[in-house]
Each structure stands twice: as structure tokens, then as C-alpha cells.
């Protein structure tokens, strides 16, 4: 299909739409950078300028972009934890991602340079925002010290990732993020007590 080429600022959106469509229609293996460029109607060079690998392109299109919104300040650590869990759940949910994630992680694992870049770009960005959340809780007097952000990252991300991508059952009544907010707030509070 021939389409008009989107302007520079429209490329990211066009790529995102193309990745999601290709994951649904053909799966991760056949969602190549060339196929994405063709589907989005943009030049391959434009795609390679933005993304060094297919895994990165798919991650940014489906899970979250490199630039994240700072976490919402709800006024309390419990509220902030609930908001972060909702963001994590919506980032990791979806049948296309459920199909694609193991292959994406296998690609990342097979390439140490890519793995290092992933840790820096995506995980590092996520963790930076958790530090903001934790420092707000310390400033409010809800935590007496800032816990290890890596542990907090594992404690908030891990249960959502495990439920959505390892378990086969439907989320608990009331929703996954809402069900995890109170226990995982207790975990973070215990770390920073």
C-alpha cells in the first residue's frame, strides 16, 4: 500500500501504529524494521536513525517511550504507588505484548550491548521516576529514609509483570493494580521505615 510520507514529527506516531498492527497481524518475528518502515510509509533510514534495534523499536512503541511522564503526585505514598501500578499495568497489558515479550527479551538477552542499552534507556528511566516518588514520600515524612530504588523497582514491576505475562488467569476482581496497591505500599513502607 502506498501512503504519503508523514512529516518528521509524525514519524514516531506512524511507527507506533505500524508496530502494533504488525504485531497483531504477523507476530514479533515478522515485525522487522523494514516491514515497520514500509507499513508506516516512512524511509528505513528515518527508522534506523531513531532506533538502533528492532527490540528497542518494539519496546518503545508498545511498552513505553524513552521519555516517560513523571509519576503523578497524588499527595500520599499509597496514592502514588497505586498510580505507578496503574501505569505499569497499562504499559504491560495487551495480547500483542503478551505474545511478543518473550521473543523481545530473548533478542535483548542475546546481545550484551543491546542489554546494556536497554538497562540504561528504559529501566534507568523508570527507576529515575521511582526515585522522585520515594523522595516525595521522605519529604512528606511517610518514609524515614529513601529505600534502595532497585528493590522498589523490582517490588512494583515484578508482581504486575508476573501476573500479566506468566500467569494465565484473569486479573483479580477489582483489578490488578488496585489489588496490589495496598500490599505493595506496605512493602515499600517497610523498606523505608
- What does the binding site for its own copies look like in residue numbers (CB under 8 A)? 98-99, 102-103, 105-106, 108-110, 115-116, 119, 123, 148, 150-151, 153-155, 157-163, 165-169, 172, 179-180, 182-191
Residue 109 and residue 115 in contact, taking contact as beta carbons nearer than 8 Å: yes
Helix axes 124-140, 149-165, angle to 10 degrees: 120
Q: Is 62 in contact with 170 (CB distance < 8 Å)?
A: no
- What distance in Å separates the CA atoms of residue 94 and residue 24, rounded to the nearest whole number? 10
Least distance CB 178 / its own copies (angstroms): 11
Among candidate residues 51, 17, 20, the one with its CA nearest the CA of residue 33: 51
Judged by beta carbon, residue 42 or residue 180, the one nearer its own copies is 180
Measured from the CB of residue 59, what is the shortest distance to its own copies in angstroms?
12
| Alpha carbon distance 176, 163 (integer Å) | 8
Q: How far is the CB of 22 from its own copies (least distance, A)?
A: 17
Q: Is 134 exposed, middle or buried (0-12, 13-18, 19+ CB in 10 A)?
A: buried
Complex with its own copies: residue 42 or 126, whichever CB lies closer:
126
47 vs 89, beta carbon nearer its own copies? 89
Nearest distance in Å: CB 50, its own copies:
23
Nearest to 83 by CA among 181, 151, 188, 171: 181
CB of 66 or CB of 110, closer to its own copies: 110
Nearest CB to its own copies, comparing residues 66 and 150: 150
* CA count, 13 A, side-chain hemisphere, 101: 15
Rounded to a whole number of angstroms, the minimum distance from the CB of residue 148 to its own copies is: 6
Amino acid at each position: 500500500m502506498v501512503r504519503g510520507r508523514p512529516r518528521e514529527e509524525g514519524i514516531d506516531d506512524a511507527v507506533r501504529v505500524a508496530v502494533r498492527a504488525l504485531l497483531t497481524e504477523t507476530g514479533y518475528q515478522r515485525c522487522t524494521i523494514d516491514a515497520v518502515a514500509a507499513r508506516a510509509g516512512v524511509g528505513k533510514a528515518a527508522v534506523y536513525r531513531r532506533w538502533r534495534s528492532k527490540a528497542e523499536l518494539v519496546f518503545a512503541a508498545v511498552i513505553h517511550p524513552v521519555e516517560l511522564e513523571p509519576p503523578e503526585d497524588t499527595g500520599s505514598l499509597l496514592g502514588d504507588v497505586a498510580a505507578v501500578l496503574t501505569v505499569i499495568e497499562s504499559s504491560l497489558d495487551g495480547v500483542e505484548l503478551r505474545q511478543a515479550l518473550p521473543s523481545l527479551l530473548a533478542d535483548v538477552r542475546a546481545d550484551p550491548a543491546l542489554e546494556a542499552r536497554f538497562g540504561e534507556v528504559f529501566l534507568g528511566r523508570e527507576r529515575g521516576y521511582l526515585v522522585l516518588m520515594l523522595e516525595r514520600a521522605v519529604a512528606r515524612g511517610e518514609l524515614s529514609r529513601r529505600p534502595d530504588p532497585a528493590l522498589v523497582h523490582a517490588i512494583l514491576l515484578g508482581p504486575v509483570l508476573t501476573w500479566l505475562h506468566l500467569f494465565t488467569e484473569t486479573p483479580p476482581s477489582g483489578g490488578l493494580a488496585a489489588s496490589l496497591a495496598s500490599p505493595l505500599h506496605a512493602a515499600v513502607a517497610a523498606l523505608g521505615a
